[in-house]
Structure 1
Amino acid sequence: MSLAFPLVLLLLPLPWLVGRVLAARAPAMASLAVDATAFAAAAPSGLRHDPVAALLRAGAWIALVVALAGPRVATPVSLPTASGREIILALDLSGSMAKTDFVLDGRPLSRLDAVKAVAARFIAGRQGDRIGLVVFGDRAYVAQPPTFDVASTARAVETLQIGISGLSTAISEGLGLAVRRLSRSDGRSKEARSKEARSQAVILLSDGIDTSGKVQASDAAQLAARHGIRVHTIALGPEDLESQPDASDAVDVAGLRATAAAGGGASFRVRTLDDLVDVAATLDRLEPNPMRRPPTLYWRSLWMWPAAAALVLAALLALLPAMGRRS
């Protein structure tokens, strides 16, 4: 606990000082000296409680001064603040994402369920960021526009199902839609975007080969870089074209690596659930989490308690003469 205005405590001896000054100014010799006991019988009954009254006056004054000093306690509070960062997750929902080649607590887990668990946790911790979600299969669509309500984006990830966007892997279309969504930034002007979105990034996750056939994903990443948007890619799955070119549902690691290089971001290779968790932690370092700032101190005022005590003591002091008459 601390005081907002500690110098106010210097007022504590004020009544005593005033009494000393008034006593010093009193005449040295009265014109008529009378024994004080002569008026004892005629004195009001309240004066018989003089020690109690003095104690009440002192307590009320002390409580009032303490209230004016502003006692308070500090409570650390983590307040989410707008970071000026926009991130869109572009997730592959092709048919191969249903493969159960991940393991969690000894039980098999599909690729999509593994991504759901890690991505939802990653998104929920991004308080202060605007997070959006794009999914792609045969085609791409915006499942959640960028929003500060990260909990709603996390719920959108948790409800994803295979087949809602088709079973193919239109990587470049998904990336292009995410870049287009960020570059428009809700239709605001370029000046407004520069103030509100100081950092923009796309996190692209896929476990296959691009089947869109229209433009290369690396070309879409180059367009993103020209708009100041970083592109990070995650290659998911145990098999890849480099080591097993004839494997079905092998991920195009080289293509995703080239896409990340063209977009000025990082490329990750994920074979296990632990790899996926490590990627989420690395992305937190690459795109710093605003909630890791030092907590803000919130001061909770306590002046009302000594003020209430002063009021109660003053009320007792006012009632003291009536109490004396009844006694």
Structure 2
Amino acid sequence: MKQHYLKNLIFTLVLLASLGGYAQQTICVGAVKNYSVNTPGSGPAGSTYSWVVTPNTFAGTITGTPGVNANSITINWGTTPAGVYTLQVTETNAAGCPGTPVDVTVTIENIPVNPTVTTVQPTCAVGTGSITVTTPVGTGLTYSIDGTNYQAGTGFNNLAPGTYNVTVKNAAGCISGITPVTINAQPALPAAPTATLTQPTCAVATGTITVTAPVGTGYEYSIDGTNYQTGVAFNNVAPGSYNLTVKNPAGCISSPMAITINAQPAAPTAPTVTPTQPTCAQALGAIQVTAPLGAGLTYSIDGVNYQAGTTFNNLTPGNYNVTVQSAGGCTSGATAVTINPQPAAPTTSAIIFN
């Protein structure tokens, strides 16, 4: 009787062979493994080895050099389903005497299914993304995005833009296929907008803001940071301060352009005037505007022709409407003035003597 060693296990055998591996082995579906006798040739020269896998659900292949009767073989377990199998080797010496078979129990574990994941992409405000494994999940499973470092948690946070290969490993060490995931680059902010303004006038109390850049499909615009529209024009805008922003298709919002819509220009007050009426000696009159006075104001007595001077001379008798116009084109209410006819000279018909 002689002893044969199966690595960590000692078998007392009355045969000529033992396996150079563990008495129990756990592998994954589809694994390719090498097996060898740990003391080949310890018996008489010319021994051969018979390798058998049971039960018959084994669907792999056994190869060896120079053949399947060699003392060292390779088993491609192929499509052999998960389960418990027995690998047995029997040594037969040159005289045809077989030894006692030596067994190894091989447990085949399923490979986890390829993971499914959800991703959170970077946003305008957050430059990193995240990956969360949704299946498979369960006790004993660990997860990796680089094929090296595994963790029990299903979430991977603060991921820089790039491509990641997500895999799942079970308690037996079997690793799933790869699910590639791309974390996109952080979306860029739109450029700060530019715009043209139409300010209120004497006749129109509101203004207009028109965006000139950036423009294009997918852009939206706001003057209050809340309500966005696809059109570039904001009409009927009341006087006040506004922050014009642009939002791109990714939802990123530009820095603001500060805009002020001015108050509607005020019309001048109705003028006060001093008329000079015709006299017996002077057939024409004059009108002198006394208020309002100031730079940029012009004056008219017909509502059409305006002058900077406040005096209108050589006016024929009649009715005049005096108005004042500001530099912004706003016209006051009218002050009505009448230039009277020239007074008639008295008529003496005769001198009477007493």
Instruction: Give TM-score scaled by structure 1 length.
Output: 0.22
Which structure shows the bigger proportion of residues in strand conformation?
A: 2
Which structure shows the bigger proportion of residues in helix conformation?
A: 1
